[in-house]
Amino acid sequence: MKILITDPLSEEGVDYLKQQPDFEVVCRSDLSLDALLSEVRDADGLIVRSKTQVTQEVIENASQLRVIGRAGAGVDNIDLKAATRKGVVVMNTPGGNSVSVAEHTFALLLALARRISFADPSLRSGVWNKKAFIGQELQNKTLGLVGLGKIGSIMAQRATSFQLKVLAYDPFVSEDYTHDLGVELRTLEEVLSEADFVSLHAPLNEKTKGMICKETLQLMKKGAFLINAARGELVVEEDLADALEQGHLGGAALDVFENEPNVHPRLLASDHTVLTPHIAASTVEAQSKVGYDIAQQVAAYLQDEVIVNAVNFPSMTPKELEQIQPYLGLAEKLGSFISQVSSIRLSEIGIRYYGDFAKLNYKPISNYILKAILKPMLSEEINQVNARNYAEERGISVIETVSSRPRSYSNLISIQLRSPEKTEWIEGAILHKGNYRLVSIDGIPIETELGEHILFLRNKDTPGVIGLVGTILGKAKINIASFVLGRNEDGAHAVAVVNTDGKIPEEVMQEIRNIPAVQYLLLVRL
């Protein structure tokens, strides 16, 4: 398997990959687009940092690509939609450089508060001017954090040492979490208007792009400071330059920029900015850690399908994978079975787990079910990574629940396909020695194996159907492995599942269809 590394990666990470017998490791930095398209064509794994732009064109050109690894947290240089659509797992290392970034952010904050970056060149030029560089203490000031993920949380912890009051805006964290950090959770408007220092730690997406602009900058205190070591596009640089030149802000410290490596000329010329070239994560410790971590993650996925820190698929630890591995086969068989026998215009998929599943990471199991359900319906290449995305694109709702209600099986999976007019429903479980069993259809108990060749029929519950089907199969020399019949409560209709040792020719199928009581007949292949 080929792993292509297109940005500088730590020696520890490269060496780890080279020590694996399964991999051909190719390190090619500073590739042109044509060279990148050529190299990635036969790659199974791609590892990048922030420089390589993994566009839709790159992803579509990679015919064997299974995983993209980002050595670092941000993945805005990777087209996630294109990767997900193609079924490529995208992984990052969100915690590997968090301490380095938080420490650099604090360094920027201190440099602003004490005007260090201005005093240093002045002194080096031979000027001793103490009065020109009067700074501010941090004690009893307010720090506003926009985003309280890993880096924001480390910032909050460090801030307490400086006796800063900390406010935070993050719509995805609970008040219990912020309380434990000693942080007050506020709206974005309150954070901006009350903080003396505002530090950005939000991800870049459609909602956050340009969030610091003319309108939001006007909310900030006169003389307040802005620090951004997260994503350059969070800030509209033209508006920030206006706010600095008009004296509304006391200063800004930036490690990231809208159009890297280009920096807005007004920010470069300002006496109120501290600027560094995207180096917050550039420490020996951070680069070593994220390089080694992403190498391990990519290798684990390609070798054993262990998924860690995926941004477009539920992550699984090796222990979780071991726990759910037996159920992935059951999930695919059940999903494939109901997809083949279903006749409804699908609008919703309901998946319910019973018993032991309450203790498991069941999300990946659901993805295997969705893959099996959608695969016969769509012309696109469907796998467990992109199945949920394809369902969403087609307006198919996916509802997953876990029930504590006692059932006859300790590991039951229930799947319902729903339309506004109709619901079709099957359930399955694993018995001893990993034996996959179908245990009910539309609420009718029918415990049987899920073999390779299954004859499925619905019929009126009249005498002689079993005998006629058995006679036709026997005459065609088709051996029956099992024949299970179930009836609904009123006894008017029945379903049958017949496992055979081989394929059933179409002429034999037609002969069974001609039985007057048979209402529906299908050969299911699992």
Q: Which two structure tokens, joined as six digits, stand for 490?
A: 């009123």
Write out pLDDT tens, residues 94-128: 778 889 999 999 999 999 999 999 999 999 999 99
Active site residue 260: yes
Band of residue 312 on the pLDDT scale cut at 50, 70, 90: confident
Domain shared by 269 and 414, yes or no: no
Angstrom distances, CA of residue 239 to CA of 212, 218, 279, 405:
8, 10, 24, 58
Active site residue 507: no
The count of domains in the chain is 4
- Position 352 in a domain: yes
- Residue among 361, 386, 376, 403 nearest 524 (CA): 376
Check residue 62 and give its pLDDT: 96
Q: Position of tokens 């630890």?
A: 317
Check residue 28 and give its pLDDT: 95
Check residue 73 and give its pLDDT: 80
In whole angstroms, give the CA distance from residue 85 to residue 172.
26
Q: Region 176-186: what's the mean pLDDT?
A: 89
Q: Region 47-65: what's the mean pLDDT?
A: 95
Which region among 166-170, 308-312, 370-374 has the lowest average model confidence (pLDDT)? Answer: 308-312
Angstrom distances, CA of residue 18 to CA of 11, 21, 156, 400, 458:
10, 7, 39, 41, 57
- Position 333 in a domain: yes
Catalytic residue among 28, 266, 278, 487: 278
Q: Which two structure tokens, joined as six digits, stand for 47?
A: 């590892």
Q: Position of tokens 């993050």?
A: 170
Mean pLDDT of the chain: 92
Angstrom distances, CA of residue 450 to CA of 12, 333, 385, 410, 497:
46, 7, 25, 18, 9
Work out the percent of the chain whose per-residue pLDDT is above 90.
74
Check residue 299 and give its pLDDT: 97
- Position 151 in a domain: yes
Contact by Cβ (8 Å): 69, 294: yes
Q: How far is CA 161 from the centre of its chain?
A: 35
Band of residue 177 on the pLDDT scale cut at 50, 70, 90: confident
Backbone torsions φ then ψ of 347, nearest 5 degrees: -125, -20
Write out pLDDT tens, residues 151-164: 999 999 999 999 99
The model scores a pTM over 0.85: no
Q: Which two structure tokens, joined as six digits, stand for 80?
A: 């996630």
Higher pLDDT, 428 or 378: 428
Check residue 74 and give its pLDDT: 80
177-200 exposure pattern, b = at least 16 Cβ within 10 A, e = fewer: ebeebebbbbebeebbbbbbbbbb
Domain shared by 349 and 398, yes or no: yes
- Position 203 in a domain: yes
- Position 280 in a domain: no
Which region among 178-182, 213-217, 244-248 has the lowest average model confidence (pLDDT)? Answer: 178-182
Domain shared by 31 and 118, yes or no: no
Backbone torsions φ then ψ of 454, nearest 5 degrees: -125, 130
Domain shared by 150 and 71, yes or no: no
**CATH (domain of 19):** 3.40.50.720
- Residue among 88, 96, 76 nearest 307 (CA): 88
Check residue 516 and give its pLDDT: 93
**CATH (domain of 517):** 3.30.70.260
Band of residue 221 on the pLDDT scale cut at 50, 70, 90: very high
- Residue among 429, 390, 391 nearest 408 (CA): 429
Domain shared by 175 and 268, yes or no: yes
Sheet of strand 453-460: strand arrangement: 480-487, 493-500, 453-460, 518-525
Domain shared by 22 and 87, yes or no: yes
- Extract the runs of DSSP E, i.e. beta strands, from 183-283: 184-185, 197-200, 224-228, 249-254, 273-275
Please, which residues have CB within 8 angstroms of residue 338's CB and are 6 or more apart in sequence? 373, 415, 417, 424, 426
Q: Which of residues 416, 450, 484 is at a domain's end?
A: 450
Angstrom distances, CA of residue 39 to CA of 42, 45, 91:
7, 11, 20
Active site residue 70: no
In whole angstroms, give the CA distance from residue 441 to residue 499.
15
Beta strands 142-146 and 197-200, pairing class? parallel
Q: What is the full DSSP assignment across 411-479? A: T-EEEEEE-SS-EEEEEEEEEGGGEEEEEEETTEEEEEE--SEEEEEEEE--TTHHHHHHHHHHHTT--
The domain containing residue 60 runs over which residues? 2-96+285-304
Contact by Cβ (8 Å): 299, 278: no
- Position 297 in a domain: yes
Does the structure show a pLDDT above 70 at 491?
no
Write out pLDDT tens, residues 266-289: 999 999 999 999 999 889 999 899
Band of residue 14 on the pLDDT scale cut at 50, 70, 90: very high
Domain shared by 76 and 148, yes or no: no
Does the structure show a pLDDT above 90 at 488?
no
In whole angstroms, give the CA distance from residue 263 to residue 447.
68
- Position 443 in a domain: yes
Check residue 366 and give its pLDDT: 95
Angstrom distances, CA of residue 146 to CA of 16, 159, 456:
37, 14, 57
Write out pLDDT tens, residues 384-408: 888 888 888 788 999 999 998 888 8
Catalytic residue among 24, 238, 245, 260: 260
Domain shared by 110 and 156, yes or no: yes
**CATH (domain of 339):** 3.30.1330.90
- Position 309 in a domain: no
In whole angstroms, give the CA distance from residue 374 to residue 342.
12
Q: Position of tokens 């040492």?
A: 161
Domain shared by 485 and 431, yes or no: no
Q: Region 208-214: what's the mean pLDDT?
A: 96
Domain shared by 106 and 206, yes or no: yes
Domain shared by 54 and 109, yes or no: no
Domain shared by 441 and 456, yes or no: no
